[in-house]
Chains A and B, each alone.
Chain A
Amino acid sequence: MKELSLNILDIAENSVRAGANLTKIIIDETDDTITVAISDDGCGMTEEILRNVTDPFCTTRTTRKVGLGIPLLKLAAEQTGGRVDIVSRHESQYPDSHGTTTTALFYKNHIDMTPLGDIAATVVTLIQCNPHIDFLFTHNMGDKVVSLDTRELREVLGDVPLNTVDVIMWIKDNLNEQYNGRAE
């Protein structure tokens, strides 16, 4: 993956496939680190799947749900000296509080740090392809916070789908304006 934002897109798709109603993508930056947390209220993983989830060979054979996405994220994090942690509660054991949180820590000044890339494009793509579920996105850069919550947009939009072209363009422009800090 050339950009971390592509890893994030890939991992967030796991949440979509897990039947999540709300997927949160939270990026926190400090001077030295970037922490990416992707959490959902989907079905969660059983302990057995969770144990194998970072093993590309084991997981691709036992389930199509996981594959190479997490190993690639793990590689990207570990090559900077960071790590990936996954916490998951399967619906069979936690009927009221199931879901998965994948947290990746990167040391962003490391020479092998993958650039974050076009994170706005990742958020736009997720909404375009999954208009019936909600996404909360927050990118905290210390001196600036960029955020978007589709639940708030839905309140304004009513029955108009989130992936209506004009809405998608609004979301894209809104995010890019937040990043570029353009004034009104």
Chain B
Amino acid sequence: MKSLAELAAIRDKMKDKVVIREGSQGIRVVVGMATCGIAAGARPVLNTFVEEVAKADLSDKVSVTQTGCIGICQYEPVVEIYEDGKDKVTYVKMTPEKAVEIVEKHLKGGKVIADYIIK
């Protein structure tokens, strides 16, 4: 069973890291999580981003969070990627599979996947 002792161990491990995270100018992955996004499948997309970012060891650089309705409900699930000094990238009709690819190619490799952005 995942115990509170294990949670305490995570805390001790993270103590030094937290300072670095708060000071860093990272990439923000924002998933539209209003009714439209949720109904279209935003939850597994968001969860996949969290897991893949961790797997790719990008957790210190990339944060995954949510927003409300972006206003293009027919394209949901919609994911916006914000990075300092770069234009916002909007990926549409997202799936967990696309999320895996975006972490690999865009967040890790720095290349926007043109096929998945809004046209």
Which chain A residue lies CB-closest to B58?
A165
Q: Please report whether the interface of chain B is mostly helix, strand, loop or mixed according to DSSP.
A: helix
Q: A9-B43, A121-B43, A129-B46 are in contact. Are A166 and B10 (CB under 8 A)?
A: yes
Chain A hits for B18, CB < 8 A = 159-161, 164
Residues of B within 8 A of A (CB): 1-2, 4, 6-8, 10-11, 13-15, 18, 33-36, 38-39, 43-44, 46-47, 50-51, 53-54, 59, 64-66, 68-69
* Stretch of A29-37, A82-90, A104-112, A168-176 that contacts chain B: A168-176
Q: Please report whether the interface of chain A is mostly helix, strand, loop or mixed according to DSSP.
A: helix
A6–B39 CB distance below 8 A: yes
A160–B1 CB distance below 8 A: no
**How many residue pairs between the two chains, A and B, have CB atoms under 8 Å in the bound complex?**
93
Within A139-155, the residues touching B (CB, 8 Å) are 152-153
A165–B43 CB distance below 8 A: no
B2–A173 CB distance below 8 A: yes
Bound Cα distance A29, B39 (Å): 24
Within the complex, the shortest CB–CB distance from B16 to chain A, in Å, comes to: 11
Q: A6-B39, A169-B54, A177-B2 are in contact. Are A164 and B47 (CB under 8 A)?
A: no
Chain A hits for B53, CB < 8 A = 165
* Stretch of A20-28, A47-55, A65-73, A93-101 that contacts chain B: A65-73
Bound Cα distance A67, B35 (Å): 8
A156–B11 CB distance below 8 A: yes
